[in-house]
Structure 1
Amino acid sequence: MPLLVPPAPAPALRSVLAALGSPTAVREARPPALRAAQGPLSPEFPLPFHVLDGIIPSGRPPRTRLTGWRFLIRSGDRTVAAADTVLTADGWAFSHFCEGPYIASSQLAMRQAEAMTARYQPRLLSVPELYMLTLWLHDGPVADAGEPEAMPLPTDLLVPLAPAPPGIASHRPHRAADLLPLLTHRLTPPAVPLLSQPA
């Protein structure tokens, strides 16, 4: 079934189009893949980008926060990079272009998700403590993808993108109820045994 890709905020899309249309509007140099691209560049597949905070046990439940929208950048029939936007005091603004393995991995995960029988709303979920990025398939297709804070439902699927942390298979869907406790366990420091007092 097709994914229910949420519409990006119009100012976020405009900021990416402006960055693509005017190289001088971007402070940093474009990545090599964009510089080498032939023909027009177009943004597609906007995905809300959430960051998972507080996964390390601290007495407070973990939460996600929306930090931006990521657009895949297409040149002809290839995706060559991504463009990230961020929410500023003045609204949505272009942040930076990026390239690397997560671009192809995002595409593969989206294709896998489109072959599933259930309909999901795709999002991206970053776990900074593990240097991990997942495709978050939200089991609530009518939900507002731009919520500032939202937590994955137990029935949501999380698909780790490659490269995934050691011991976690990339491109394998996991129920959020199964994967999130595993990530928390990985980040829990081991208990230090107390040394007995000298006699």
Structure 2
Amino acid sequence: MPLHLPPAPAPALRSVHTALGSPTAVHEARTPALRTAHGPLAPERPLPVHVLERGTAHAPAGTRLTSWRFLIRSGDRSLAAAETRLTADGWAFSHFFEGPYVTATERALREAELLSTPYQARLLSVPELYMLTLWLHADLTDDGAAGALDPQDLLVPLAPAPPGFAAYLPHRVSEFLPVLTHRLSPPPAPAAGLLDPIA
């Protein structure tokens, strides 16, 4: 089934085009792959990046939109990514970057396109675990900025995944979120008396 990509805010996309077209303005921030690229560079595959916010006993874990990310393609592959952030003046270009998450995102998107169920693609970051996942959202009508984690959504850890998580293995949110919550929970306090000094 085709993977649905929510439309990025027009100012976010424009800001990336402007950065790509102004090498003198962003030369210092460009990645080695972009500096040595031959041929045109195009921002593709816009993905809203959400951050997982910890839940409490009274409120489940939620998400917060922090940026829009675009894969920067040259020819038949992605060389880097561009990040845009919401500022007081609207969406603006933030920076270019490259590294393992660029190729991991591209691979996870390709694999998600082979699934029999259509999903909307997003990214979900878990900063405390240094983890990034492809979030396959079941509600195709959401605009990318809104929408909560649905129990039927899939989360796909991207490589490099933290210990205990298999990269590229999809998990239902209903099964994965309790594992994440457990990993994010602080260790229990020692029982009273265990740290008392020896008499």
Q: Secondary structure at the match of 2:29?
A: coil
TM-score w.r.t. length of structure 1: 0.93
2:122: which partner in 1?
123
Q: Which blocks of at least 5 consecutive residues in structure 2 are unaligned?
A: none
Contact in 1 for aligned 2:29/2:96 (Cα 8 Å): no
**Are residues 59 and 92 of structure 1, via their aligned partners in 2, closer, same or farther at CA, if it must alter by over 3 Å?**
same
Q: 1:187 offset after TM fit, Å?
A: 1.8
Q: Does 2:149 align with 1:157?
A: no
1:44: which partner in 2?
44
TM-score w.r.t. length of structure 2: 0.93
Q: Secondary structure at the match of 1:180?
A: helix
2:24: which partner in 1?
24
Letter in 1 for 2:131: M
Instruction: Between 179-188 and 130-139, report the one with greater CA deviation.
Output: 179-188
Letter in 2 for 1:77: D
Instruction: Please give the per-residue CA displacement for 1:44-92, whole angstroms capped at 9, x wherever unaligned.
Output: 000111111225x575432211111100000111210000001111111
Contact in 2 for aligned 1:18/1:25 (Cα 8 Å): no
Residue 194 of structure 1, aligned match among 184, 192, 195:
192
Q: 1:24 offset after TM fit, Å?
A: 2.4
Instruction: Please give the per-residue CA displacement for 1:107-153, whole angstroms capped at 9, x wherever unaligned.
Output: 11101110000000000000000000000000011112122xx3210
Letter in 2 for 1:73: I
Q: Secondary structure at the match of 2:152?
A: coil
Contact in 1 for aligned 2:69/2:84 (Cα 8 Å): yes
1:91: which partner in 2?
90
Instruction: Please give the per-residue CA displacement for 1:16-56, whole angstroms capped at 9, x wherever unaligned.
Output: 0000000222374311111111111000000111111225x
- Output the CA distance in 1 between the equivalents of 2:144 and 2:67: 11
1:181: which partner in 2?
178
Contact in 1 for aligned 2:8/2:68 (Cα 8 Å): yes
Instruction: Between 138-147 and 81-90, report the one with greater CA deviation.
Output: 138-147
Q: Which blocks of at least 5 consecutive residues in structure 1 are unaligned?
A: none
- Output the CA distance in 2 between the equivalents of 1:60 and 1:143: 22
Instruction: Please give the per-residue CA displacement for 1:136-189, whole angstroms capped at 9, x wherever unaligned.
Output: 000011112122xx3210000000000001010010000011111101101212
Q: Secondary structure at the match of 2:164?
A: coil
Letter in 2 for 1:194: A
Write the mapping of 1:34-113 to structure 2, written as runs, cut at 5 A. 34-55=34-55, 57=56, 60-113=59-112
**Are residues 92 and 187 of structure 1, via their aligned partners in 2, closer, same or farther at CA, if it must alter by over 3 Å?**
same
Contact in 2 for aligned 1:44/1:73 (Cα 8 Å): yes
CA RMSD of aligned residues (A): 1.7
* Number of equivalences: 196
Instruction: Between 67-76 and 19-28, report the one with greater CA deviation.
Output: 19-28
